[in-house]
Amino acid sequence: MASNPSAQKSFHMDPEDFRKHGHEVVDWIADYYKRIESYPVLSQMHPGELRSYLPDKPPQQGEPFKAILGDIEKLILPGVTHWQSPNFFAFFPSNASGPAILGDLLSSGLGVQGMLWATSPACTELETHVLDWLVPVLGLPQKFLSSDTGGGVIQDTASSSTLCAVLAGRERATNFQSNQRGVTEKLCAYTSNQAHSSIEKAIKIAGIGSKNLRLIGTDEKFAMKPEALTNAIEKDRAAGMKPFFVCATVGTTSSNAIDPVPRIGEICRRHDLWLHVDAAMSGTAALCPEFRHIHNGVQHADSYCFNPHKWMFTNFDCDCFYVADRKTLIQTLSVLPEYLRNQATESGAVIDYRDWHVPLGRRFRSLKLWFVLRHYGIEGLQFHIREHVRLAQDFASWVESDARFELVIKPPLNLVCFRLKSGDNANQKLMEALNGSGDLYLTHTRLGNRLTLRMSIGQTNTTERHVKKAWRRIQEEASRLT
């Protein structure tokens, strides 16, 4: 019988070519980090520019790897905003690190899809274990441990965690009926007027309706006023509404404000409301005993999340989500079709993380977190977090000593909110000049209805040299404006 010539044919990259190109890519990344400060931090690309360089159609024939990698340098890099530059002070850190990148590479290499314990036991068990590790070192309550009533899971983002918290809170408040017949109760939820937009998004997606999210007023430190929360709950009750959910923030995006979780927690217990604590940006600080007070009151929480993909040197995406009562979360999200049934699941002896979040499929994300924890150790993480906070406090003192500027609020941790006293226009121009120069990148917010600059210090490789240079550039541009 004639042999089929196509049986031998393959377009795949064989393991030896993979090894060769893999080394080239790792070299490229290492070189990128070495020269990262030579690029403008904020990409200077115009809208549509990259697309104008790309061919209209995908290649019919495969191309050499060299050509593909060459285009990373030529086409892609100019359109990259360098989040990993030590001169990146915008939004919030989204910091990567060597061990996290390598852990993520291994996750890609293994190509595991860990939807069920049975589809890769290591993917589930490492995740459970690493999330348990973090409970005591962050000063989180015992009930978040998998050996207690709760447990932790890695989600893609804090937004997804908040959505799951809202859904579980909704089901608890409606005795799991909303899942069956839709939301018929007049549910309402609460968060501060400084909370992240992901809370409103979750409320919309969960069918509560954004009109039923109350934005509670804040004090002079931009933290939620507990008495205003109580008043809003009582007013809603009197009007026939059914309050069910509160989200407190530990470290708001705009100003790093820390809501008074102990008092908010008491209110939630008194009114039987689900309390979710969003510590996306700042939770990492609790690794240091001197900052652990930010988690005071979290013992009242039904759920909590923080993002190692922001400030804990673990590249995107990695959000740790904890619940106090895993049964409620699982009952909220579980659907078990026949094709997913298996002996391990039936035995009840394992965790199936597909029931802990919206997607079914899941990557082996705990690998990168495990690599980070093992590479740095708690001591190494504490060192770098402390350094970032120290640099932010130094920066704040420099702002205070320049009569043209004012500090909008004393920075609780690593985010400094400041502005020129001469008004919004001047601050806008200052920010545009700095970002246009490519020397650094910072962003703004509005606090007290005035445009405020935010200096967010948390990039992996930011040191004193970078913060000093940033301040020098800010002063130079301010002088040019006046």
Which range touches ligand PLP (CB under 6 A), out of 212-220, 246-254, 283-291, 331-339?
Answer: 246-254
**Range list of H helices, 272-365:** 308-311, 326-333, 343-347
If one asks whether residue 414 binds ligand PLP (CB under 6 A), the answer comes out as no
What is the torsional sign of CA 83, 86, 90, 95? positive
Binding of ligand PLP by 171 (CB under 6 A) = no
Interface stretch with ligand PLP, choices 237-245, 276-284, 341-349, 365-373 (CB under 6 A): 276-284
Q: Closest CB to ligand PLP among 107 and 157?
A: 157
On the CB side of 359, CA atoms within 13 Å amount to 13
Instruction: Please select the residue that binds ligand PLP; options are 124, 174, 212, 249, rule is CB under 6 A.
Output: 249
For ligand PLP, which stretch binds (CB under 6 A), given 64-72, 152-160, 210-218, 403-411?
Answer: 152-160
Is 444 an interacting residue with respect to ligand PLP (CB under 6 A)? no
Bridge-partner residues for 179, per DSSP? none
Asked if 84 touches ligand PLP (CB under 6 A), the answer is no
Is residue 259 a contact point for ligand PLP (CB under 6 A)?
no
Tokens representing 133 are 């590790």
Sheet with 443-447, edge to edge strand ranges? 405-407, 415-420, 450-456, 443-447
Q: Per rule CB under 6 A, is residue 196 in the interface with ligand PLP?
A: yes
Number of residues counted as binding ligand PLP (CB under 6 A): 15
Please report whether residue 307 would count as binding ligand PLP according to CB under 6 A: yes
Do the Cβ atoms of 160 and 362 come closer than 8 Å? no
Cβ closest to ligand PLP, residue 124 vs residue 198: 198
Q: Which stretch binds ligand PLP (CB under 6 A): 132-140, 157-165, 232-240, 454-462?
A: 157-165
Rounded to the nearest whole angstrom, what is the least distance from the CB of residue 445 to ligand PLP in the complex?
11
Helix (H) or strand (E) holding 152: strand 151-155
Helix axis angle for 226-238 and 261-271, nearest 10°, is 20
Q: Cite the beta strand spans of 287-421 per DSSP E.
A: 303-306, 319-323, 405-407, 415-420
319 binds ligand PLP (CB under 6 A): yes
SS (H, E, C) 110-139: HCCCCCCHHHCHHHHHHHHHHHHHHHHHCC
DSSP alpha helix (H) spans, 174-212: 178-181, 197-205
User: Are the CB atoms for 450 and 424 separated by under 8 Å?
Assistant: yes
Q: Check residue 435 for interaction with ligand PLP (CB under 6 A).
A: no
For the bound state, the minimum distance from the C-beta of residue 305 to ligand PLP, rounded and expressed in Å, comes to 8
Q: Do 218 and 406 form a contact (C-beta atoms < 8 A)? A: no
Q: How far is the CB of 189 from ligand PLP (least distance, A)?
A: 15
Distance (Å, whole) CA 206 – CA 387: 40
Q: How many other C-beta atoms lie within 10 A of the C-beta of residue 295? A: 24
Cβ proximity to ligand PLP, 107 vs 159, nearer residue: 159
Beta strands in 307-380 (DSSP E): 319-323
Residue 278 touching ligand PLP (CB under 6 A): yes
Q: How far is the CB of 249 from ligand PLP (least distance, A)?
A: 5
Q: Does 462 bind ligand PLP (CB under 6 A)?
A: no
Residue 157 makes contact with ligand PLP by CB under 6 A: yes
Chain residues in the site for ligand PLP (CB under 6 A): 92, 157-159, 196, 198, 249, 251-253, 278, 280-281, 307, 319
